[in-house]
Amino acid sequence: MKDEYDFSNGTRGAVVESPSKTRITIFLDDDILAAFRERATQTGRGYQTLINETLRTSLSPESAPLTAEVLRKILHEELRAA
């Protein structure tokens, strides 16, 4: 080993870069984190993976809440077809 190392030209960043993931800092409620960690233990999967999947599902159009406007459109289309 050297007695001294020169880090003046070094760059900060992740040791292992991932092309599709970004490292962030996020604050979650303790009970939410505990629930995901418990579920991860039960399923044998990583809790961060479970959080990511939950966020992805919540962003899908199928998970959008049923609004009055959407319901009116559906009813209108169904009544017209009948």
Highest mean pLDDT among 2-6, 44-48, 63-67: 44-48
Considering only residues 81 and 37, tell me which one the structure prediction assigns the higher pLDDT.
37
| Residue 38 pLDDT greater than 90, yes or no | yes
* Alpha carbon distance 50, 47 (integer Å): 5
* pLDDT score recorded for residue 47: 96
User: Half-sphere exposure of residue 5, counting CA atoms within 13 Å on the CB side?
Assistant: 5
Query: Quick one: pLDDT band at residue 2, thresholds 50, 70, 90?
Result: confident
The length of the chain in residues reads: 82
